[in-house]
Amino acid sequence: MITIVDYQMGNLRSVQKAIEKIGSSAEITDSAARISAARRLVLPGVGGFPEAMAELRRRDLIQPIRDYIASGRPFLGICLGLQLLFETGEEGGEHEGMGVLPGRCVRFRLPHEYKVPHMGWNSLQIVQREPLFVGIPDGTYFYFVHSYHVEPSDRSIIAATSDYGGPFCAAIARKNLFAVQFHPEKSQAVGQRLLANFAALPETN
């Protein structure tokens, strides 16, 4: 069973369907007790950083998510679910994130010929050959939709980069914690492979 955090931000059902397509069961919940008891946890998201943090606070889910990550069980953040892990986000002013990882989430600052949001298929440059990327070659294309990207203070956690007017962090990994800027649930066969890799991860303490 893979547990998906429900905080009313984005495409929860499409993530659930993608997980079910690889043969795993998936539940969507905003229950702190269910999150605390999860064996594998996914924090997806589409939308604004401050609104997302407000919803997580309103539902009292920040500490259960932090405790879950600290427990060593597999965790996957997707898009906004990656960005919220960091200390601050600059969308609509500076806002406090969950602070699981040091660093910030910033808006793309690009030449005028680049449209923001960055939307479409882009290739990954895999920096660390993590178990999340088993069977996924360097240069594989995934689907992105985002106006912001993260800048980790500890660059050793960057697992993959992509390029849009310059390189940016596209995935991070630290022990049991994994998070990606792209959308595996919208990335067809390669996205399914990544989700299957996540479903197969062992617990790490």
Of 79, 105, 118, 149, the active-site residue reads 79
185 catalytic per annotation: yes
79 included as an active-site residue: yes
Catalytic residue among 55, 146, 183, 203: 183
Q: What is the DSSP string of the chain?
A: -EEEE-SS-S-HHHHHHHHHHTT--EEEE--HHHHHH-SSEEE---S-HHHHHHHHHHTT-HHHHHHHHHTT--EEEETHHHHTTEEEE-TTS-EE---SEEEEEEE----TTS-SSEEEEEE-EESS--GGGTT--TT-EEEEEESEEEEESSGGGEEEEEESSSEEEEEEEETTEEEESS-GGGSHHHHHHHHHHHHTPPP--
| Annotated catalytic residue within 118, 146, 149, 185 | 185
**Residue 183 known to be catalytic:** yes
Annotated catalytic sites, by residue? Answer: 79, 183, 185
